[in-house]
Copies of this chain bind each other. A is one copy, B any other.
Amino acid sequence: MGEHTGRFLIPQRAMLKAYLLSIIESQNLYGLEYRDFIRQEYREVGYRPNHSEIYKSLHELMEEGIVKQSKRKKEGKKLQEVVYYAIVDKNKANLYRKQVKVELERCEHLMKKAIAAVSTK
């Protein structure tokens, strides 16, 4: 990930990729369902990613050899092709999640400091 010093906050894409990895491990969803799931989960913090970011995140994870497009099958009732994903390199996946976590913690720390600095006494 981009470790070029001085960066302010983590790019959305990195967070999404790591998050998608954890979702892929626990649920079987396809593209737009990931988007809706995340929107639902983060509704309270007003975060609503769009479909492009989801797709681009998934594509990058694929290019990096971390996931693969698994079942290009049709859904039960609608006869529509959808793309599911599965993890192909668990080690890479966990490593990436760990790296992003470190970066997220840095951001949390930065936010805490900023909140204190900005607060009027």
**Residues on B with beta carbons closer than 8 Å to the beta carbon of A86:** none
Question: In the complex, how many angstroms separate the beta carbon of A2 from the nearest chain B beta carbon?
Answer: 12
Which A residues from 42 to 96 make CB contacts under 8 A with B?
Answer: 42, 44-50, 94
**Residues on B with beta carbons closer than 8 Å to the beta carbon of A119:** 97, 101
Number of copies: 2
Tell me if A's interface is mostly helix, strand, loop or mixed: helix
A5 touches B48 (CB 8 A): yes
Complex formed: what's the CA distance from A104 to B22 in Å? 25
Q: Which of A41, A42, A46, A49 has the most CB of B within 10 A?
A: A46
Q: Which of A7, A22, A111, A120 has the most CB of B within 10 A?
A: A111
